Structure 1
Amino acid sequence: MAYRDLGSSTPGNAFTVTLTLNVEDARALWNAAAEKALQAPGMTLADVLDTIGPREDPSIADCIAMLTAPAAIPGCGLDDFQVSPLHSAELIQLPFPAMMPAANG
């Protein structure tokens, strides 16, 4: 029986993890992000407002980043972390009948 040492370093094994979210309630998102931010030592409400904006006009990307920023994963080094909106053009789908050519008649 062959034994493979899984504890050894394997450089060059990079992985991408993708998470796509649809924000349905910006207030609930802001509340959760603000609550998490306020748990950091020394964080004040003014710091929260500077980081994620006010509840009435939140920075959606910053709120998502606050809640999804990865914690340290044993045996891994974080190379990149980004939160960015999808372009609205990528989300538009025309209804099937609108894509059909008009009938001559």
Structure 2
Amino acid sequence: MAKDSRWGLDSGNVRPSGVQQEYWFSLKLRVDSAAQLWQAAALRCLSQAELSQDEVEDLIGPLEDPSIADCLMVLALPERLPGCSRLDTALHPVDTRAPAARAAREPSDMIDLG
């Protein structure tokens, strides 16, 4: 079964260790419960990073006003991926109004969007 997988297991696609490649990895999420997200991120910080409650709130905000982006980063990003160097990390909220707003603008106005 591994021979037919696309995971590179026993497929001959494994590159020599001296060859480096870069990849973009994208994950789109919808946050359904900010409180559950915060609780999971806080638990990760308290147990794995051994942070105090005050340090947790400095990192991800308080339960009443969580920093969603910081909570997602704490939970979604491993400390390290074996054999890899993290080159960049980006997290941006999706603006569902952006496509319609951009379509309604004149081409010369697009320069101001930067």
Shorter-chain TM range is 0.7 to 0.9
- Deviation at 1:5? 7.4
- Structure 1 runs not aligned, ≥5 long: 93-105
Which has the larger Rg?
Answer: 1
Name the amino acid aligned to 1:7: P
Counterpart in the other structure of 1:46: 54
Counterpart in the other structure of 1:6: 15
The TM-score normalised by the length of structure 2 is 0.67
Stretch of structure 1 that moved more, 23-32 or 73-82: 73-82
Name the amino acid aligned to 1:78: R
Number of matched pairs: 88
Structure ranking higher in helix proportion: 2
Moved over 6 A (4+): none
Q: Secondary structure at the match of 1:88?
A: coil
Counterpart in the other structure of 1:24: 32
- Structure 2 runs not aligned, ≥5 long: 1-11, 101-114
Please show how residues 83-98 of structure 1 align to structure 2 within 5 Å.
83-90=91-98
Name the amino acid aligned to 1:33: A
Q: Secondary structure at the match of 2:32?
A: coil
